[in-house]
Chains A and B, each alone.
Chain A
Amino acid sequence: MTFKTTRLLLAAAFLGASAFGATAADFKPENPECIAPANPGGGWDFTCRQVGKTLQDLKLLDKTMQVVNLAGGGGGVAFAEVVNKRDDDNDLIVAASSATATRLAQGAYPGNTMDQVRWVASVGADYGVIAVAADSPINTLPELLDEIKNNPTSISVAGGSAVGGWDHLKVLIAANAYGIEDVRKVKYIAFDGGGEAVTQLLAGSVQAFTGDISEAKGFVDSGDIKVIAVLAPERLPGEFADFPTAKEQGIDAIGANWRGFYAPGKMSDEAYNAWVSKVSDLYSSDEWKAIMAANGLAPLDLQGEEFEQFVANSVQQIQNISKEIGIIK
């Protein structure tokens, strides 16, 4: 029965292929592999595993996608490995996010640039949030930024990334948009991951938290923290609709931590198109929509060329901010 279905699918794929000329369906990865450039347990690992599982559930891949954790250098080890050793591998994709773009923009992958790889597609975005403890006297983003402007030493902002990382940049983008001239005055405390940062907000060690919605969600539901701004262009759908955007509070700041994939730079066009179409089929499936909803991922639907352009723009934007705040020269 399964055999028959496979044959039918193959036949359909073949017909489809002949209709559109040489499209993606010709290529089938023999040993699909996804590199998560971090240790198990982080966002990149999650992206690889969740996408691999869903691709298989949807029968877009007939083999299990092998997830390889290649940690080091904030993704730099994996990037260098792909560029130097696996430049023409057709079976490989690598999980990436805003953090990848941030490090590429700041030159933190020595000798590597974004055009050495091919950018496949995004699978969603995690919009940044700024939150305070439930019992904090601060209720809106302007109140928080006012306090930072007038009395910068009184507010410590905790986040899960290192100084200069994406969580840090998000709060700086907001501060910059509010008109705080010297954003270096913002007191940022780096913790090992968003979970630890939220815990310290609950413990009262810090006054504010910058991170992703997925990190804050559990604590908003339990009423322990309140989100004072989400850095999205408009209010998010569903259960996140209660969070006010920074924009509606008069602060034009957007910070999206997108999640997606890149592939080796010399991957064949055939294979590249196949991966793009697989990920885009995944993106439009109901299964993936359910996963996005459960994890607070917002829509970000970009594939192939479009995605490449988007990454290039975000690298440029981060480069500009980083220069402004003096992280790079």
Chain B
Amino acid sequence: MDTLSSLADGFVIALTWQNLLLALLGCFLGTIMGALPGLGPSNGVAILIPLAFTLGLGATPSLILLTSVYYGAMYGGRISSILLNIPGDEPAMMTCLDGYPMAQQGRAGEALSLSGVASFVGAFIATWGLILLAPQLVKIALLFGPAEYFALFTLAFATLGGVASTNQAKTAFAAALGIGLATVGVDTQTGVPRFTFGEVHLYDGIDFLVAIVGLFALSEVFLFLEHRHGNAEANASKVSVGRLMPSFALLKYCTPTMLRTSLLGFVAGVLPGAGASLGSFVSYTFEKKLVDKEGTFGKGDPRGVAAPEAGNNAAAGGALVPMLALGVPGSGTTAVLLAVLLALNITPGPLLFTQQPDVVWGLIAALFIANFMLLAMNIPMIGLFTRVLLVPPRILMPIVAMVSFVGIYGISGSSFDLLVMVGFGVLGWVLRKLDVPLVPIILGTLLGNAMENNLRRAITISNGDWAVLVGSPLSIGLWSLAIIGFVLPIIFGRVLKARMRHMKKDEESSTID
């Protein structure tokens, strides 16, 4: 009851005209920033900080504006994933896998609205989780030492097989390539630069945003150039948009998926250092393992769109837990929000909830408001978004190239990153020709570093004793999950597939009869 009355107080703070307008502005700008490749939530929030300061906003209004941008960008990331097969930000990577095939089948409208609803469900559940569980959830984060983090990241890699079902060897190769790329940069455990060739731009490693935009967006442009060379009449413009709203049956069909993955994503978000990307990734692979009996994931299964979207938006809410309650950011965006809090003279930490309840509860109320606004704003705008599909590729692709270059240069202000991006574009083009999946590469660069560092931290702390890796019940649990996730599909996959083929044949013959 105490919580509910605090929440009511929070709504009193948040429900002023100024705050509502700020939330609306934030949601709108956030959606656009999320949809543009390269500009993700963290940059979106960072770009708008000066705006909040110039307007002379107080603590609560500033936070309302910036968290609306955060939630908005998490919504927006899916749009370009579905329409263009280019993730708007890194957590939206998994939405490409089923969202783009759906769009190609003429179900873009449905995919967009379904993912909008999934985003809403994920964020809604996560916000409730934040309210009810924040103080207790902090304890989960404290269960994770370096050994447990290593097990967690291994789990993510062990279930990689679920991402691309075509060729496991190619998936493994892609993941290894990603982990290899992650080793570039100064090694924090020894202070020694690795594979930097004396180039100071490489000291901090390869920025995965640059890698994503290069691999996904630029390679798309290269593919287009190759196919459409001298043949400007593109037939892709014939893609139909289909119905805009999902049928009630489809929503009902996807509801269990959304609920499960919201919980999963929320927990991933709560862990500092795991974040939304891991949230959407784990949501997708687990959901695939659980419900994908017919092998439709990756070919435009609506549940494959709902799962990562619910997961990554729930993780966005979850990441606020360690930021507010521990002062430890769970993701890049929360690191920026943390800086804003500090700049506003608010010290996050265990005492924030008791010392500055108006800020915390005003913020939480704003999250609810932003979430409803985003749903209300996104559904009618789907018609507008899908127009993108009607733009002929010969116009669209140069725009994609331009946005990629401007976006990356805008973030880092360095022409070196542009060269790296072009390099990744060429790499992406070659790998697509070889039918190597791109998602494991990004996952490798994203998590490889954290995985290696945690392994070495664990081993250093234990003075070289490898047994520490299975030293706690939690890590044993994670390892067993990883092993099951890795081994089961290998053993049972074939049996299952064979049986499935058999059943399908039976069905077909029975319908023929």
- Residues of A participating in the B interface, judged by any CB pair closer than 8 Å: 39-42, 45-46, 49-50, 52-53, 56, 64, 66-74, 76-77, 80-81, 108-110, 153, 156, 162-165, 187, 189-193, 195-196, 198-200, 202-206, 214, 217-219, 221-222, 224, 290-291, 294-295, 327
Q: Which of B14-22, B324-332, B367-375 contacts A (4 or more CB under 8 A)?
A: B324-332
Could you tell me if B349 and A156 are in contact, using CB atoms closer than 8 angstroms? no
Could you tell me if B338 and A199 are in contact, using CB atoms closer than 8 angstroms? no
Nearest chain-B residue to A65 (Cβ)? B50
Could you tell me if A74 and B186 are in contact, using CB atoms closer than 8 angstroms? yes
Interface positions, chain B 141-179, Cβ under 8 Å from A, are 141-146
- Whether a CB of chain A sits under 8 angstroms from the CB of B200 is yes
Q: How far is the CA of A49 from the CA of B343 in the complex (A)?
A: 7
Could you tell me if A205 and B146 are in contact, using CB atoms closer than 8 angstroms? yes
Q: How far is the CA of A46 from the CA of B299 in the complex (A)?
A: 46
Contact residues in A for B463 (Cβ distance below 8 Å): 153
Q: How far is the CA of A228 from the CA of B202 in the complex (A)?
A: 38
Could you tell me if B343 and A50 are in contact, using CB atoms closer than 8 angstroms? yes
Q: How far is the CA of A224 from the CA of B141 in the complex (A)?
A: 15
Q: How far is the CA of A214 from the CA of B339 in the complex (A)?
A: 12
Could you tell me if A53 and B200 are in contact, using CB atoms closer than 8 angstroms? no
Could you tell me if A163 and B273 are in contact, using CB atoms closer than 8 angstroms? no
Q: Total A-B pairs in contact (CB under 8 Å)? A: 163
Could you tell me if B338 and A41 are in contact, using CB atoms closer than 8 angstroms? yes
Could you tell me if A195 and B326 are in contact, using CB atoms closer than 8 angstroms? yes
Could you tell me if B349 and A219 are in contact, using CB atoms closer than 8 angstroms? yes
Q: How far is the CA of A32 from the CA of B342 in the complex (A)?
A: 23
**How far apart are B95's CB and chain A's nearest CB, in angstroms?**
25
Q: A162-B191, A189-B460 are in contact. Are A71 and B412 (CB under 8 A)?
A: yes
Interface residues on B, range: 35 or more
Could you tell me if B343 and A53 are in contact, using CB atoms closer than 8 angstroms? yes
Could you tell me if B336 and A195 are in contact, using CB atoms closer than 8 angstroms? no
Could you tell me if B348 and A203 are in contact, using CB atoms closer than 8 angstroms? no
Contact residues in B for A199 (Cβ distance below 8 Å): 141-142, 272, 322, 326, 328
For the complex of A and B, 7 pairs with smallest distance between CB atoms: A218-B349, A41-B335, A222-B350, A73-B203, A205-B145, A164-B191, A40-B46
Contact residues in B for A110 (Cβ distance below 8 Å): 198, 200
- Whether a CB of chain A sits under 8 angstroms from the CB of B49 is yes
Question: A70-B412, A71-B412, A217-B349 known; 9 other A-B pairs, CB under 8 Å?
Answer: A41-B332, A42-B335, A66-B50, A72-B204, A73-B200, A217-B347, A218-B349, A222-B349, A224-B350
- Whether a CB of chain A sits under 8 angstroms from the CB of B345 is yes
A-B contact pairs, 21 of them (CB 8 A): A39-B332, A42-B335, A53-B53, A56-B54, A64-B50, A67-B50, A70-B413, A72-B200, A73-B204, A74-B203, A162-B186, A193-B329, A195-B326, A195-B327, A195-B328, A196-B272, A200-B145, A205-B146, A218-B327, A290-B345, A295-B345
Nearest chain-B residue to A43 (Cβ)? B339
Q: How far is the CA of A123 from the CA of B77 in the complex (A)?
A: 39
Contact residues in A for B272 (Cβ distance below 8 Å): 195-196, 199
Contact residues in B for A214 (Cβ distance below 8 Å): 342
Could you tell me if B329 and A204 are in contact, using CB atoms closer than 8 angstroms? no
Could you tell me if A49 and B49 are in contact, using CB atoms closer than 8 angstroms? yes
Q: A72-B204, A72-B414, A189-B460 are in contact. Are A41 and B349 (CB under 8 A)?
A: no
Q: How far is the CA of A99 from the CA of B324 in the complex (A)?
A: 27
**How far apart are B412's CB and chain A's nearest CB, in angstroms?**
7
**How far apart are B196's CB and chain A's nearest CB, in angstroms?**
9
Could you tell me if B273 and A196 are in contact, using CB atoms closer than 8 angstroms? yes
Could you tell me if A42 and B339 are in contact, using CB atoms closer than 8 angstroms? yes
Contact residues in B for A162 (Cβ distance below 8 Å): 186-189, 191
Contact residues in B for A189 (Cβ distance below 8 Å): 146, 189, 457, 460-461
Could you tell me if A327 and B191 are in contact, using CB atoms closer than 8 angstroms? yes
Could you tell me if A40 and B350 are in contact, using CB atoms closer than 8 angstroms? no
Could you tell me if B412 and A163 are in contact, using CB atoms closer than 8 angstroms? no
- Whether a CB of chain A sits under 8 angstroms from the CB of B505 is no
